[in-house]
Amino acid sequence: MIFNVFDEMKPVSQIWPDDLAARYRAAGHWRGETFGGWLRERAQAHPDKIAIVGGDTRWSYAELDRRANEMAAGLRASGLVAGDRVVVHLPNIPEFFEVVFGLFRAGILPVYALPAHRITEIAHFASSSEASAYVIAGRHEGYDYAELAAELQQRLPAVRQVFVARPDRDGQTGFADLAARGRAQPLPAEAGPKPSDVAFLQISGGSTGLSKLIPRTHDDYIYTLRESDVICGMDAESVFLAALPIAHNYPMSSPGVLGALYAGARVVLSPSPSPEAAFPLIEREGVTMTSLVPPLLLVWLQARPNSQHDLSSLKVMQVGGAKLAPEVARRVRPVLGITLQQVFGMAEGLVNYTRLDDPEEVIVNTQGRPISADDEVLVVDDLGQPVPEGEPGYLLTRGPYTIRGYHNNDSANARSFTEDGFYRTGDIVKRNADGYLSVQGRATDHINRAGEKISAEEIEDHLLAHPNVFDAAVVSIPDEYLGERTCAFIIPQGEKPRGAQIKQWIRDRGLADFKVPDQVVFVDKFAETAALKISRRELRAALRARLTTPEQGEQA
Ligand code: AMP
Ligand code: DBH
């Protein structure tokens, strides 16, 4: 077994050196809690308090706890054992929590996929995590995830079981079936997972090539929940609206839905982040806090003056995942009448927040400062030397909740971590005298499309598989609404395809919709000069310049 669940074997990449681990424990960061443990404590402290609201469903803490127990036992009764991995592919529905807390309790590791992911991504997550089961909603928003499951099992027979939250045909194993199995065969009274065990695998945005798996432990993740709650003012009276997909690390944990439950607050699940879906829920449930990405903030700011809904309960609006323009940030207080909190984080660990009582200029112009006094932040130049304060440089970090390595990925680890365990975030930042960071750009060629990270390389590989594509380069283009959009430059061969066919090709390759290029431009050649040694990175920069700067002729 690769994981340190119920035995002493640990994935090498996950081990913090003993001296640092001891320091994080001594400082009280890692307190020896587990997800299954604290949920039970909350359920005992306030059994009847509402934990989750989604659609017509309202679950109290006691109800969620009971369901998680039955689920844990049902998963084990179905043959899964501690340390197994299960790909969880669910939208914002209450069953997400039932199964995820069930998995935590059984010591089985969820691997979180986003609703938009399709067969190519799911197959990659399942094979790289060696998953033995797959969890889906069923049919959702016009898409039949059961078909995807069938294709997955055909490609990867190791995915032996599929569990369906809302089964709609014979032969499917529904969550109710799992719960019934759990009631018939309760969990043996054995030790659960240890606080230092890996609790789940989160998905990286995939800056180069395919997404990598991010192992997070109970101890380290729960620390971020507890501190995020304090920093963001999340307490037992809070009501958190999950507008973004909760499988994403940001609405999951900064402080997000898990931070809300940790605080004993109420989570309200929105089926969509649109004002039409969210505003009525804010009014009805008395929502106090929510989190958005910058393009959605624009939509909300635009919708607010025309809306009759009473949003007066809302106190804090978090915005993160991609850079927020100061001009937009400045409008939050006048238009929404509430405090903006900028959030700059990553599933690998480090999370920065502006503080709620920071001066407006700090809130508007920076992406905040780290959660922890033990977050070590370095801003360095090309040679790895620290740059002077206020100068741009590469952000490196290590600390009590930043991973020391990806799961089973030596080559990525060699690239992404320094010898002394700092994670190379790939972000270019400036840090001021107070430790606040402002994001300037990034060193890698991934595209941040409205907070969704897209690897240029991954899309290029799929484009190159097209019979009429000789070469392809995918670049980010600044976009007023999305922040960045994708443009695929293509040198055709044989019969020149149409742009729409190229987009359809990417869809047909079984990729998430957000990875379909927004724009396709056909060119005869990439570089004007005969520069044979031009790097992919330089090439992408040159191509981007073709679309974003006036043509030579126009300049004259
Ligand atoms: P991931 O590693 O996939 O979790 O994505 C994290 C990355 O998203 C960071 O390294 C940044 O590049 C980007 N990011 C997240 N929040 C912000 C923000 N507030 N401003 C700018 N970039 C952000
Ligand atoms: O973009 C991210 O991945 C992100 C943004 C804000 C994140 O993981 C987080 C906060 O925790």
The C-alpha atoms of residue 329 and residue 331 are separated, in whole angstroms, by 5
7: in domain? no
178: in domain? yes
Q: What is the pLDDT of residue 315?
A: 97
242: in domain? no
Q: For ligand 1, what atom is nearest to the CA of residue 439? A: 21
538: in domain? yes
Domain count within the chain:
2
- Output the residue whose Cα is nearest ligand 1's atom 15: 321
Ordered DSSP codes for 256-309: HHHHHHHTT-EEEE-SSSSHHHHHHHHHHHT--EEEE-HHHHHHHHHHGGG---
In this structure, the residues whose C-beta lies within 6 A of any atom of ligand 2 are 249-250, 253-254, 320-321, 343, 345-347, 351, 451
Query: Is the predicted pLDDT of residue 13 greater than 80, yes or no?
Result: no
SS3 label, residue 155: helix
Q: Which residues contact 296 (CB under 8 A, 6 or more apart)?
A: 243, 244, 273, 450
The C-alpha atoms of residue 368 and residue 434 are separated, in whole angstroms, by 10
Q: What is the mean pLDDT of residues 238-255?
A: 98
Residue at a domain's end among 158, 193, 228: 193
Q: For ligand 2, what atom is nearest to the CA of residue 253? A: 11
- Output the residue whose Cα is nearest ligand 2's atom 1: 321
212: in domain? no
The domain that contains 511 carries what CATH number? 3.30.300.30
Hey, which residues does 162 pair with through a beta bridge? 134
**C-alpha atoms less than 13 angstroms from C-alpha of 78 in its C-beta half-sphere:** 29
The C-alpha atoms of residue 374 and residue 260 are separated, in whole angstroms, by 23
Query: Is the predicted pLDDT of residue 289 greater than 50, yes or no?
Result: yes
Ordered DSSP codes for 354-399: --TTS-HHHHHH---EES-TT-EEEEE-TTSPBPPTTS-EEEEEE-
In this structure, the residues whose C-beta lies within 6 A of any atom of ligand 1 are 204-205, 249, 320-323, 342-348, 367, 425, 427, 439, 442, 448, 453
Residues 480-527: tens digit of each pLDDT: 999 999 999 999 999 999 999 999 999 999 999 999 999 999 999 887
Residues 365-400: tens digit of each pLDDT: 999 999 999 999 999 999 999 999 999 999 999 999
Taking a C-beta distance cutoff of 8 angstroms, is the pair 487, 521 a contact? yes
Residue at a domain's end among 193, 227, 255: 193
Give the domain extent around 103: 36-48+58-193
The domain that contains 119 carries what CATH number? 3.40.50.980
421: in domain? no
Taking a C-beta distance cutoff of 8 angstroms, is the pair 475, 543 a contact? yes
- Output the residue whose Cα is nearest ligand 1's atom 8: 321
Substitution site in 114, 204, 317, 346 for ligand 1 pocket (most atoms within 8 Å of beta carbon): 346
Claim: this prediction has a pTM higher than 0.85: yes
pLDDT band at residue 3 under the 50/70/90 scheme? very low
Substitution site in 439, 452, 484 for ligand 1 pocket (most atoms within 8 Å of beta carbon): 439
360: in domain? no
Residue at a domain's end among 193, 227, 251: 193
417: in domain? no
